[in-house]
Structure 1
């Protein structure tokens, strides 16, 4: 039976943790490394409902994208949301491994999953940060050709919403048909100029700010905000499949309580 440390080792090869950005806190964040794992849950976020689901299913490990500990924890009590989650993990004897910006950047990570879900062709990196220890390129974002070039911004927004199961898609119409598309899972609005430099007419990301919409329209780029959850949750199922193949003795499941945190009308 594999241990938490062995699962961490697999994830470290898939998306090396030393590739994470300086602000990040990805890694093995909760639990005991030698705990044997019979069952694990994969989620985008480790929320209290996700931890409760993991406990009910008898899981020893939760693997997530977003770090369960991001800001420094000065007290571990039930008086804060983070404290309640960490206490529930500890009391349930469960570990947590979180692969964040390292999983964003690697070739088979968040952004490749997002690009493939949107059926982009001829994928390339939007921005290359460097090479990992095995000489593989890594960097945030991907660029590709639209599955059906020539769609209007409105048509493509509807397509993006359907493919991602997004609660909503907000967009600023750049005035050009959709042909060359950049994607950046999560908060990548600051990479608008990178998309422009690659000759993209459309950029799909999340957490877009007011001034970024204005800038995009001025640049003639259609900028779409499909939501943080929807643009990153696409990695969870492929990640679960990779873990299941690597550890056939572990029952790997997607968290059913892993849900979009907001609704839209």
Structure 2
């Protein structure tokens, strides 16, 4: 029977927790003891809906991408997700930037969703770069991304054809300039700010903002499959979480 520490060690083998960025908080964030794990939910975020699913389904572990304890959280209450998990005997492993930086992590899965080939990591591993089978106009490429990710997206005006593509799941629009320097014609990421679109236009690189959830959720599915294949004695399931963002 597999224990909490074994699951942590396995994730650490392909997404070392030591590689997480300084501001991150990945690891075992809720530890209910190194007990045997029988059921585990894998999710992007630990929302109220995910908590209800875990409690109702009698899960004893949640593996999340975004940390359950993060940022300005300095105290726990009975309504804090981490406290609710502990109260219900649910341990939490969060694998955030270490999974972003993993060679088989968020960016690799995103590159696969876009059917890129010759995919390599940037020098700092913050994004990956690959190539399309053939060049396409920026408008057609943006439509292609939308179809691949089932995403509503935003993009800037760019007249060049797109062949070499950089990808960075989640909040990666600030890497547009670095991606341009590595030869990318486009950067596909989750979030983009107004002035970053202006800068991208000036630098003649296509910036595609396809949604934080949409660019990271495929990697959650991939992580669940990795864990499922490794630990046959544990029932893994992707949580029934949807994007909180609605589009008109």
Q: Over residues 127-179 of structure 1, what are the superposed CA-to-partner deviations in whole Å (9 max), with x where a residue is unaligned?
A: 223xxxxxxxxx111101114x232222222221221122x110002211111
Structure 1 partner of 2:170:
186
Q: How many residues align?
A: 248
Structure 2 partner of 1:262:
245
Structure 2 partner of 1:26:
26
Q: Does 2:123 align with 1:128?
A: yes
Structure 1: 5+ residue runs without aligned partners? 130-138
**In 2, Cα distance between equivalents of 1:150 and 1:73:** 46
Q: Is the CA contact 1:164–1:231 (under 8 Å) kept in the aligned structure 2?
A: yes
Q: Is the CA contact 1:175–1:221 (under 8 Å) kept in the aligned structure 2?
A: no
Q: Over residues 29-69 of structure 1, what are the superposed CA-to-partner deviations in whole Å (9 max), with x where a residue is unaligned?
A: 00224121001000011111101101111110000110010
Q: Does 2:248 align with 1:253?
A: no
Question: TM-score, length-normalised on structure 1?
Answer: 0.90
Structure 2 partner of 1:176:
160
Q: For residues 48-197 of structure 1, what are the structure 2 equivalents within 5 Å?
A: 48-78=48-78, 83-125=79-121, 127-129=122-124, 139-147=125-133, 149-166=134-151, 168-197=152-181
Structure 2: 5+ residue runs without aligned partners? none
**In 2, Cα distance between equivalents of 1:25 and 1:84:** 16
Runs of 4+ in 1 over 3 A off after TM superposition: none
| Residue 245 of structure 1: how far off its partner (Å) | 1.1
Structure 2 partner of 1:12:
12
Question: TM-score, length-normalised on structure 2?
Answer: 0.96
**What secondary structure does 1:73 align onto?**
coil
Structure 2 partner of 1:212:
196
19-28 or 156-165, which deviates more: 156-165
Structure 2 partner of 1:44:
44
**What secondary structure does 1:151 align onto?**
strand
